[in-house]
Structure 1
């Protein structure tokens, strides 16, 4: 793997991470979210929530589609890694990923964002409360993967 290509992938991830962090800081005082509190958000606060959802989703997507496969390539891992779960298991085994189970939960959270529940503020608030806790996990996962990969550059 070309170091510049890998750095480009990391830079994209870090941009998403910075914007995810920014949105979390701007919404932290609103926690925990309830159906009532969501109905009282300003247009600007709703836009920041949108930023949170988009950046969580994009970061998780880029890590899964580009960063994690790039780490496999960077470490020159051998063997039959045809499925994504095989790659995740190998990444966990070599220490690049703390937990396959955690990664799959982060992926499921990202998938839940794809379903919009505009008519159910109870579901929306529960989803956002869960996502805020998981966003910290996602950011720590990124940091761990990048630190791990640094040993191979």
Structure 2
């Protein structure tokens, strides 16, 4: 991946992050949410929750599929990384991410979003509260990766 392609991946992640931040800021007054409070969510609150879920998932996906592998290419890390966990472990070792285990929690949260629990406000509230915290961590991870990769993406000297 060249610098231009990496910057393109970063731009995509930034777009998702911007919308995730907006959704989180809009919902902040609702969190932590109690199960019984879910019944009081307005249609607009529910639309913003949907935006939060979608942007969390899209950001996690874009980072995992393009940005993180791109960091390995930028740093020209030697070796074979046949599995994603191998890539995560190497990224953690070189300091590009804080924790491979944390990344797996982001991925698990994204996977949990694919299940719907319309009749169980306890599970819904628990998932949303967990996701809200993980959303902050995901955004912080993006900033961390950006800071790390900036050492390898210097603009050309005139």
Same fold per superposition (TM over 0.5):
yes
Q: CA deviation at 1:3?
A: 1.6
Residue in 2 that maps onto 1:22: 22
- Residues 29-38 or 129-138, more deviating: 29-38
CA distance in 2, matches of 1:74, 1:99: 19
TM-score, normalization by structure 1: 0.97
3-state SS in 2 of match to 1:102 = helix
Q: 1:57 & 1:78 partners in 2: Cα distance? A: 30
Q: Which residue of 2 aligns with 1:39?
A: 39
How many equivalent residue pairs? 153
2:94 is aligned with 1:94: yes
Moved over 4 A (4+): none
Aligned-pair Cα RMSD in Å: 0.8
The CA distance in 2 between the partners of 1:83 and 1:2, in whole Å, is 22
TM-score, normalization by structure 2? 0.94
Q: Which residue of 2 aligns with 1:6?
A: 6
For residues 17-65 of structure 1, the C-alpha deviation after alignment (integer angstroms, 9 at most, x for no partner) is: 1100000111111112122111111111100000000000000010001
1:107 corresponds to 2:110: no
SS at match of 2:80: coil
Counterpart for residue 133 of structure 1: 133
Residue correspondence of structure 1 range 29-68 to structure 2 within 5 A: 29-68=29-68
The alpha-carbon deviation at position 121 of structure 1 amounts to 1.1
What stretches of structure 1 of length at least 5 have no aligned partner?
none
Consecutive unaligned residues of structure 2, counting only runs of 5 or more, are 154-158
